[in-house]
Amino acid sequence: MPDHEPDSVEFEITDELDLHTFRPSEVGELVPDYIELCLEKRITRVRIIHGKGIGTLRTTVHTILERDPRVERFELAGANEGGWGATIVWLQGLDS
């Protein structure tokens, strides 16, 4: 029987990542991988939707962003972009 790798889900990389479709245990790898793919596509401003809830996922996302040197800065989204249910992230621009 041939070896099969686990099925992976492919999705288009845009300037928005909605974490509602992922398990919390996936976020620790997902967010850094997403940042890498955004930088490859020269996307330097992104919106990560983590939901409002009790704030656990938001705290996790912010901790990941604080530790990633590719992140220039981040802040909670304005009211028109999801308020405290989303975070806007500015990534370091690519060096020429």
pTM of the model: 0.85
- Identify the pLDDT of residue 35: 97
Cβ-proximal residues to 74 (8 Å cutoff; 6+ apart), any chain: 62, 65, 87, 88, 89, 90
Q: Where are the domains of the chain?
A: 16-91
What is 16-91's CATH number, 3.90.180.10, 3.30.70.1150, 3.40.50.1700, 3.30.1370.110? Answer: 3.30.1370.110
| Per-residue pLDDT tens digits of the chain, which is 96 residues long | 455 555 555 668 999 999 998 988 999 999 999 999 999 999 999 999 999 989 999 999 999 999 999 999 999 999 999 999 999 999 997 653
d(CA 96, CA 83): 34
Pairing of strands 16-18, 45-49: parallel
Token digits of residue 12: 């288009």
- Identify the pLDDT of residue 73: 98
